[in-house]
Amino acid sequence: MKVLITGAKGFIGKNLIAELENIQSGKSRQSSLSSLTLYAYDMDTDPQLLDGFCADCDFVFHLAGVNRPKEQSEFMQGNFGFTSALLDTLKRHKNACPVMLASSTQAALDNPYGHSKKAGEDLLFAYGRETGAKPLVYRFPNVFGKWCRPNYNSAVATFCHNIARGLPITVNDPAVQMTLVYIDDVVSELIHALEGKETRDGDFCKVPVEHSVKLGEIVDLLHSFRESRKTKSVPNMENPFEKKLYSTYLSYLPEDQFSYPLKMNVDDRGSFTEILRTPDRGQFSVNISKPGITKGNHWHHTKNEKFVVVKGEGLIRFRKVGSEEIVEYRVSGDKIEVVDIPTGYTHSIVNVGDTDLVTFMWCNECFDPEKPDTYFLEV
């Protein structure tokens, strides 16, 4: 299948082409499509190529458009004029392939941008009636995700960019309710359209997954993402919008700030470093023990843990409180396995090797100095 993508270097275009190339190379399982040929067209493409693309393509993703012009007249020129030229070229080659149009919910509003989008929609519907071509018109709400240009036409992109850099943002009305769609959901739907399985809503098509969120809530979440490096918290991944927004936020981190330091609690035995703290999934840490060092020798009523040795040789020893019997587990970074630390058993971990023993530890609750639930008792 030969696919023409206009606006190929724009936000949606870049994401769509990236996934189509994954499908093309067999790296993605999102679609059964194969033998794809992609014709990418943008403002810097030789205009003469458009004629050949239109003569040869089997499907058109018309994503090109204008939404931040210098003059209002450019709205109609960019959103209606180029659409007209594209459809005229297809018609000249008698190519009645399906045409997808990226419109906007603004098309229903009385403003210059909305008028230009509505004019493009009407033109495509009329073209479909005349030629028999299948029109697929998507009125996108706010689209967010990676690779969207900040300080352009997306509040989410601008807020992510600025907050990640500690720059100020302007929020005129935090109570404004926003309807948003995530770029991966948009791309998934567009691939379904390419397969002839688009989601319909009357004459229009739509992205089936939408999120309705107040602007102030978005800003609060973004600030919490920035603070999470200090609090060691992670977003609520059970919330689909929060999960997608966090992925978006990370894509706007400055390239010299991908990493951040952690506090290492160091002594002559080794170190203990907390990595993450979650209110409902516990605490994640890494423990390093020097050769010959024993750590632990305590037990818990309710607190429980999982140990995973990733480097070195260790011996984890258990003794049920009130019993004399000792249970031992030899662990090694050469054989990654999880050892559960049950409640009611005093336990220790000994570095029996010649190198540092590195252990990844999960605890079902974050450490609370007011209620540590940790009682010293030698194994």
Residues that are catalytic? 113
**Other Cβ atoms within 10 Å of 197 Cβ, number:** 10
DSSP string, 88-121: HHHHHTT----EEEEEEGGGGSSSHHHHHHHHHH
Ordered DSSP codes for 178-216: EEEEEHHHHHHHHHHHHTT-PPEETTEE--S--EEEEHH
Query: How far is it, in rounded angstroms, from Cα 117 to Cα 121?
Result: 6
| Contact between residue 315 and residue 328 where contact means Cβ atoms under 8 Å apart | yes
Residues near 196 by Cβ (< 8 Å), separated by ≥ 6? none
- In this structure, which amino acid lies at residue 200? R
Among residues 285, 256, 263, 304, which one has the least CA distance to residue 361? 285
Provide the token pair at 256.
């010299």
Nearest-angstrom CA–CA distance, 42 and 286: 49
d(Cα 310, Cα 21) in Å, to the nearest integer? 36
Place of tokens 């003469």: 48
